[in-house]
A and B are shown apart, each in its own frame.
Chain A
Amino acid sequence: AQSVTQPDIHITVSEGASLELRCNYSYGATPYLFWYVQSPGQGLQLLLKYFSGDTLVQGIKGFEAEFKRSQSSFNLRKPSVHWSDAAEYFCAVGAGDYKLSFGAGTTVTVRA
């Protein structure tokens, strides 16, 4: 079965600074990888996804993620954070049965 680790429980970043959220997965084959964001009191919104091809994927809200097979990682990045990016971010891995396994999540706080 697949699994996901998000090593950072909480990250604080200054507005305008860059952000990188780490995600490591465990799966025997090529995984489907996703990043979702959950703002306070909201559901999950899909930021981006990787299925195959170009290992650098662009998403909404200025986010990008890079799939590195050798490191079993799918880290999320944003060059310049806005206050509205304060939220919880979940990395998820999917397999052939279309079930998703989620990481524990990383809470991002943005300070002025």
Chain B
Amino acid sequence: SAVISQKPSRDICQRGTSLTIQCQVDSQVTMMFWYRQQPGQSLTLIATANQGSEATYESGFVIDKFPISRPNLTFSTLTVSNMSPEDSSIYLCSVRKGTGQETQYFGPGTRLLVL
């Protein structure tokens, strides 16, 4: 498995501002993912972050709104830019681990409220 931490755990932000969420994992991993969970909803994949390359974004998500960094194999950041109340969600990072039975393990999430 993997031990994943996220900072901050929660935040309340004003519209128009930006927030950077950090994700730290206890071992080196190739693939990291960022998900959004809107209130009462399931998880939606925002992007895949691989070290040494640009993040790959899913349909409906763009780099200008959700820039991602992946400076090394244990760390990634997601920035939510120019926030609006619609960005109020839980943001979760996950990592893929395992050989032959690759499994995603999730961090505790960052709960964001935009006023």
Q: Do A51 and B42 contact each other (CB < 8 Å), given the known contacts A42-B108, A43-B92, A43-B107?
A: no
**Do residues B45 and A44 form an inter-chain contact, with CB atoms below 8 A?**
no
Residues of A within 8 A of B33 (CB): 99
Residues of B within 8 A of A41 (CB): 111
User: Counting CB contacts under 8 A, is A87 at the interface?
Assistant: no
A37-91 interface (Cβ within 8 A of B)? 41-46, 49, 51, 90
User: Nearest chain-A residue to B111 (Cβ)?
Assistant: A41
A78-112 interface (Cβ within 8 A of B)? 90, 94, 98-100, 102-105
Q: Do A105 and B48 contact each other (CB < 8 Å), given the known contacts A36-B106, A43-B109, A98-B96?
A: no
- Which one, B43, B100, B102, contacts A102 given CB within 8 A? B43
Interface bin, chain B: 20 to 34
A interface: dominant SS? strand
User: Counting CB contacts under 8 A, is B20 at the interface?
Assistant: no
- Which one, B4, B48, B92, B105, contacts A99 given CB within 8 A? B48
User: Nearest chain-B residue to A49 (Cβ)?
Assistant: B103
Count of chain A residues with a beta carbon within 8 Å of a chain B beta carbon: 20
Residues of A within 8 A of B108 (CB): 42-43
User: Counting CB contacts under 8 A, is A34 at the interface?
Assistant: yes
Give the distance in Å from the alpha carbon of A51 to the alpha carbon of B102 in the complex: 9
A16 to chain B, nearest CB (A): 29
B4 to chain A, nearest CB (A): 8
Residues of A within 8 A of B48 (CB): 99
**Which residues of B are in contact with A by a Cβ distance under 8 Å?**
1, 4, 31, 33, 41-45, 48, 92, 94, 96, 100-109, 111
**Which residues of A are in contact with B by a Cβ distance under 8 Å?**
32, 34, 36, 41-46, 49, 51, 90, 94, 98-100, 102-105
Additional A-B contacts beyond A45-B106, A46-B103, A46-B105 (7; CB < 8 A)? A41-B111, A43-B106, A43-B108, A90-B43, A98-B96, A99-B45, A100-B43
